[in-house]
Amino acid sequence: MGGCFSTVKVSGSNSNNTTAPTANHNRKQSTASSQSTTTPAKQEQRRTNRPNEMPRKQLANKPKGKPNSRRQTGVIPCGKRTDFGYDKNFDKRYTIGKLLGHGQFGYTYVATDKANGDRVAVKRIDKNKMILPIAVEDVKREVKILKELAGHENVVQFYNAFEDDSYVFIVMELCEGGELLDRILEKKDSRYTEKDAAVVVRQMLKVAAECHLHGLVHRDMKPENFLFKSKALDSPLKATDFGLSDFIKPGKKFQDIVGSAYYVAPEVLRRKSGPESDVWSIGVITYILLCGRRPFWDKTEDGIFKEVLRNKPDFRRKPWPTISSSAKDFVKKILVKDPRARLTAAQALCMPLDLILIEIMLISMVLERLTYL
């Protein structure tokens, strides 16, 4: 978790309608909240400018049980009865500042380290809202995942977890460069050059490869869940929001439908998904980066599922004829409906889209050296 949520202004592609399964839209108990500083006015402006705006809701099933949002009288929420084993001195260490965003169970704030003045992001999760044990396990799993991925340059850094009688506090790196989504919208025609796309895609693939190395599947890769560390053009990209992420054993498959409609892999809809679904989502993002359109689009969620399950992305419309064959080949090899035939994240890192970046960097280095001759 620890991520940003938004919608994306990209036009859809048209394909024939077919039949798709109906998803259960109940959301897994999540503490997702945002480091985004988007104002309500800006969000409203986005909505009015986007006739084909993406739905913000998730397609997640609750793994087990049916948590009741109405607390029974006299029943103490599981979160209030749980000692998470985290440090108890948050108030002595940090001062909470402005609100950055909020989710169903928590709020994210800017906070200041009293010892050195460093600014961090703090997610404050209400124990009263952790009604059932599954909500407690979600929080514990998020902290465990952040610890597992600590130190990776493209994952939001985890600093510590605290608790008191009322809240759990997750202290993380503060990212102030905005969402990948916003960078896309700032580009001409809402699309990246191949060089710029290669830089972004490489970082996303590195995150996926690292997750899979740890037996972890992110399960919700989308532009809204990637933040830039700063406003600098060369700022590193950081993966956030591990609220739907989970560990998986070799040979096992997830049977629940989770993720976000436009980025969900076919095998997720067939309830037999694994690490390969992350690569599919990155393929969808790559398609959007290069052409400014979604590869699978419909006015309804069920229609999107039909597109994902039955149809192929359109590589004939502009600007695809002007995009290199290696970049198109890269996207085609990722957006393969059969997960067994799809490239892994590690394999995709060696594909031509990344080699294009290497070639450009080498040419730039040569030209720079020639200027001194």
pLDDT band with cut points at 50, 70 and 90 for residue 112: very high
198 & 324 share domain:
yes
Q: Which of these three, 125, 147, 172, is where a domain ends?
A: 172
For 181, half-sphere exposure in the C-beta direction (CA atoms, 13 angstrom radius) is 22
184 & 279 share domain:
yes
Q: At 240, which CATH number?
A: 1.10.510.10
Is residue 94, in this structure, part of any structural domain at all? yes
Contact (Cβ atoms closer than 8 angstroms) between residue 35 and residue 6: no
Is residue 366, in this structure, part of any structural domain at all? no
The two structure tokens encoding residue 242:
């591990």
196 & 274 share domain:
yes
Which residues does 194 contact at the CB level (< 8 Å), separation at least 6?
290, 323, 324, 327, 353, 356
267 & 120 share domain:
no
Q: Which of these three, 172, 207, 231, is where a domain ends?
A: 172
196 & 240 share domain:
yes
Q: Which of these three, 172, 205, 220, is where a domain ends?
A: 172
134 & 225 share domain:
no
219 & 326 share domain:
yes
208 & 325 share domain:
yes
163 & 251 share domain:
no
Asked about 220 being catalytic, the answer comes back as: yes
Q: Give mean pLDDT, residues 347-371.
A: 59
- The Cα–Cα gap between 10 and 370 comes to 41
Write the CA distances from 98 to 2, 152, 227, integer angstroms.
Answer: 16, 27, 19
List, for residues 312-328, the tens digit of each pLDDT value.
999 999 999 999 999 99
Counted domains in the chain: 2
Contact (Cβ atoms closer than 8 angstroms) between residue 129 and residue 149: no
pLDDT of residue 40: 37
Surface-to-core class of residue 215, CB atoms within 10 Å of its CB (0-12 exposed, 13-18 middle, 19+ buried)? middle
pLDDT of residue 370: 54
Q: In this structure, what is the dihedral angle of CA atoms 61, 66, 69, 70, given to the nearest 10 degrees?
A: 170
Cβ count near 22 (within 10 Å): 10
Write the CA distances from 193 to 183, 240, 343, 361, integer angstroms.
Answer: 12, 24, 23, 14
339 & 234 share domain:
yes
Is residue 365, in this structure, part of any structural domain at all? no
Instruction: Output the pTM of the full model.
Output: 0.78
C-beta pairs of 265-273 under 8 Å, 24+ apart in sequence: 265/308, 265/339, 266/308, 266/309, 266/337, 266/339, 267/339, 269/20, 269/21, 269/23, 269/305, 269/308, 269/309, 270/21, 270/309, 273/217, 273/339
327 & 213 share domain:
yes
Q: Give mean pLDDT, residues 86-97.
A: 97
| Helix, coil or strand: residue 91 | helix
Is residue 355, in this structure, part of any structural domain at all? yes
Q: Is the pLDDT of residue 176 over 60?
A: yes
| Helix, coil or strand: residue 155 | strand
Write the CA distances from 270 to 156, 167, 179, 195, 304, integer angstroms.
Answer: 31, 37, 30, 35, 14
pLDDT of residue 371: 53
316 & 277 share domain:
yes
Average pLDDT over all residues of the chain: 82
The two structure tokens encoding residue 164:
């008191």
Is residue 263, in this structure, part of any structural domain at all? yes
pLDDT of residue 53: 38
Is residue 10, in this structure, part of any structural domain at all? no
- The Cα–Cα gap between 322 and 82 comes to 58
Is residue 370, in this structure, part of any structural domain at all? no
List, for residues 200-258, the tens digit of each pLDDT value.
999 999 999 999 999 999 999 999 999 999 999 899 999 998 989 999 998 899 999 99
Q: Which member of 83, 126, 138, 220 is catalytic?
A: 220
Task: Identify the domain containing residue 340 by its residue range.
Answer: 176-359
- The Cα–Cα gap between 279 and 177 comes to 24
Is residue 26, in this structure, part of any structural domain at all? no
Taking alpha carbons only, the member of 189, 205, 362 closest to residue 290 is 189
Q: At 168, which CATH number?
A: 3.30.200.20
pLDDT of residue 23: 46
